[in-house]
A and B are shown apart, each in its own frame.
Chain A
Amino acid sequence: MAELQLKSRRFRAEREADWRRLETLLNRVEKGGARRLNRDELVEMPVLYRQALSSLSMARAISLDQGLIGYLESLCTRAYFFVYGTRARPLERLAGFFTDEWPRAVQALWRETVVSAALMALGAVGAYVLVARDPDWFYGFIPQALAGGRDPMATTAFLHDTLYQKLTGHEALGALAAFLFTHNSQIALFAFALGFALCLPTAGLMIFNGCMLGAFLALFAAHGLAFQATGWLMIHGVTELFAVTLAGAAGFSIGWAVAFPGQRTRVDAAADAGRRGALVMGGVVVMLFVAGLLEGFARQLIQNDLARLSIAAASALVWGLYFYLPRRARPT
């Protein structure tokens, strides 16, 4: 070959093999994850990445070949995302999530959780008092579709039957559980995601959720069925209401960060709160799944009030201990 005249050409000729090597490794990684590399190649990767980065800086300084600079930029970006990318081994992460991250995140949100629970209780008590005074309020709280005939016009016998109704066969149970789960998780996601609007929609949602609870209880209490209705509601309600409360708490934390970002910018503060909240929400979806199972299956299969209430109490105990039992500081 003739004598190389351009410095940028010689520069490229000297380093091209390393870039190609990095590219081949990256192609393999992007196809099948880091497991595709053996130990030596894993060690090689960061070295090649830093070489490519320095080549890029160099190329920007000495070369005017756009094709080369563009290639190096794309190569470095890909390598960067591998070297500094997510380090998630799915199963390990999942285990870490349930044993440590989730309960810790829930604990950290205890203030918001208290507020959120208080708002729901406020709604419940308020609606209970209102409906107990004037049954017409009931229609204001419960949508017609959800009531399914359980309204102040219904007879005691009918209401009693709804608490112990057996669905014909097992066919509908699965579908019902699936529907309830989807419905509830959407409400929870709603409460979480609306938090960014300065907490207000989340607060409204919490109060309204409480109102529905209170109105239902007031209706059954008027017919002397308060005890039975509590069992019917709480067998899954403990889990479900807890989950919705936590979702609200996560929403509040975002709204609070947006309203009072402190030293950071609003966007940064919201992003921090959002990531913490998302952790809680991941678990909330799991809780709602459990609640959906309890509501769809256990409630239909268990017809005894005391059994229902004891399941409710047990679930309250389990969740409470799981979340709020003091934990050792995380070894870092």
Chain B
Amino acid sequence: MTAAATTNRKPKRTSRPRRPVDDGWREFVTPEGVDLRLKIGAFGERCAAFLIDVGIIAATLLALTLLLAAIGAGTGWKGTGEAATIIWLLGFFLAREAYFIGFELRPNGATPGKRALGLRVAARDGGRLTANAVFARNAMRELEVFLPASFLFAQGQGVDAGLMVLGAIWSGIFVLFPLFNRDRLRLGDLAAGTMVVKAPRRVLRPDLAQDGPVLIGAIAFTEAQLDAYGIKELQVLEEVLRRADRRAIAEVSTRIRAKIGWETPLEVSDKTFLNAYYTGLRARLETRMLFGHRRADKFDRS
């Protein structure tokens, strides 16, 4: 039954149109000639990172202001009002420049907000990220966000509604600018030749084939059974095993048992079965790969 289903679907699949979907992965070749494959930071993530950063700066300034107020109340110093004005006018400006530039110049190339979301700044040409580039991309941020924002918040200085609307439109254009190019570049990235990429830390997880050799003696698959799937299915299987969701494992296991016609007097748990099948399939596909056959998926009959 399953075999019939496969043969039915085969002609449809071979003629399927290959639509290039932009998944955000970009080639990034190091000077050693290895492609590191970086993922472009998503727009939403970057907004979130930015909000975290601004929040941190604002919280710091607020704490400073409160401290100042406390000192003023304690000592009866008259200059607190003026000092607070300086903190918010000059302090905010200096603090945000120092914050963004300072953090992006550090080895991890990311502000705390970016770091929290696994983002970092990189030079678009794969070369060194220079201090000038970091400065340029942050200077442009002034124009994209803070300048129009200052229009919005400038009250009581004869600023009319027209200017505020202008500011809103203005920042709307610039803030949404990253959505209109492939690499999600904001204007500052464009001017500085940088991009923001996703570079999360990953831990090395145990090899799923670890328990394989011991078990494979007990559970033996025929070559035909191992030829049922290709690389794509192997990767899905790996994901299912790593996620260790009981229901998914049971479901996948039933599907695979049915597909390869698994019949054995042995009672094997779903997880053990899948582990064994994963190891067997990977060994088979890797061996074929060494001989030059890269079997993409189960429809690939090369």
Q: In chain B between 188 and 235, which residues have their CB closer than 8 angstroms to a CB of chain A? A: 190-193, 199-205, 207-210, 212-214, 216, 231, 234-235
> A57: shortest Cβ distance to chain B, in Å?
6
Residue of B150, B234, B286 near A6 (CB, 8 A) is B286
Binding site secondary structure of chain A: helix
Smallest CB–CB gap between B6 and chain A, Å? 22
Bound complex: CA A267 to CA B189 (Å): 10
Residues of A within 8 A of B30 (CB): 53, 76, 80, 84
Asked if B34 and A56 sit within 8 Å, CB to CB, the answer is yes
Which residue on A lies nearest to B142, using beta carbons? A189
B82→A172 contact, CB < 8 A: yes
Interface of chain B: mostly helix, strand, loop or mixed: helix
**CA of A25 to CA of B242, assembled, Å:** 27
Is B285 in contact with A64, judged by CB distance below 8 angstroms? yes
Question: In the complex the two chains form, is A5's CB within 8 Å of B204's CB?
Answer: no
Q: Count the A-B residue pairs with Cβ separation under 8 angstroms: how many?
A: 211
Residue of B93, B143, B202 with most chain A CB atoms under a 10 A cut-off: B202
Tell me which of B44-52, B130-138, B247-255 binds A.
B130-138
Q: Which of A16, A75, A194, A267 has the most CB of B within 10 A?
A: A267
Which residues of chain B are near A76, meaning CB under 8 Å?
A: 30, 34, 36
CB of B65 to closest CB in A, whole Å:
14
Residue contact B192 to A80, C-beta cutoff 8 Å: no
Partner of B193, one of A53, A93, A143, A271: A271
Contacts of A12 in B (CB 8 A): 207
Instruction: Indicate with 1 or 0, residue by residue over B16-53, a CB within 8 angstroms of chain A CB atoms.
Output: 00000000000000111010111000000000000000
Interfacial residues of chain B within 80-120, with CB under 8 A of chain A in the complex = 82-83, 85-86, 89-90, 93, 97, 105-109, 120
Tell me which of B89, B105, B120 contacts A88 (CB under 8 A): B105
Q: Which residues of A contact B193 (CB under 8 A)?
A: 268, 271-272, 274-275
Choose from A61, A86, A90, A143 the contact partner of B109 (Cβ within 8 Å): A86
Counting CB contacts under 8 A, is A8 at the interface?
A: yes
Find out whether the CB atom of B135 lies under 8 angstroms from the CB atom of A279.
yes
Total count of chain B residues near the partner, CB < 8 A: 76
Residues on the A chain within 8 Å of B210, using CB:
9
The listed residue (A171, A181, A268) touching B79 by CB distance below 8 A is A171
Q: Which of B54-62, B121-129, B261-269 contacts A (4 or more CB under 8 A)?
A: B121-129
The answer to whether B90 touches A62 (Cβ under 8 A) is no
For residue B132, which residues in chain A have a CB less than 8 angstroms away from its CB?
275-276, 278-279
Is there contact, CB below 8 Å, between B107 and A20?
no
The residues of B that contact A270 with a CB separation of less than 8 Å are 190-191
Pair B190/A186 contact, Cβ less than 8 Å: no
Residues of B within 8 A of A215 (CB): none
> Which residues of chain B are near A196, meaning CB under 8 Å?
187, 191
Min distance, Cβ B192 to any Cβ of chain A, angstroms: 6
Q: Tell which of A8, A20, A30, A274 touches B191, judged by Cβ atoms closer than 8 Å.
A: A274
Give A74-90 as 1s and 0s: 1 = Cβ < 8 Å from B's Cβ atoms.
11111011101111101
Residue B147 at the chain A interface, CB threshold 8 Å: yes
Q: Is the CB of B139 within 8 A of A84?
A: no
**B192 contacts which chain A residues (CB < 8 A)?**
271, 274-275, 278
25 contacts between A and B (CB under 8 A): A6-B283, A9-B209, A62-B286, A62-B289, A64-B289, A71-B202, A74-B200, A74-B201, A74-B202, A75-B202, A81-B129, A84-B31, A85-B109, A85-B129, A87-B128, A145-B158, A171-B78, A178-B89, A186-B150, A189-B139, A189-B147, A196-B191, A270-B191, A271-B191, A271-B193
Leading 7 A-B pairs by shortest Cβ distance: A274-B191, A278-B136, A271-B193, A193-B143, A178-B90, A74-B202, A145-B158
Task: List 11 extra interface pairs beyond A12-B207, A272-B193, CB under 8 A.
Answer: A9-B209, A53-B34, A85-B128, A86-B134, A171-B78, A171-B82, A172-B82, A182-B93, A275-B193, A276-B132, A278-B132
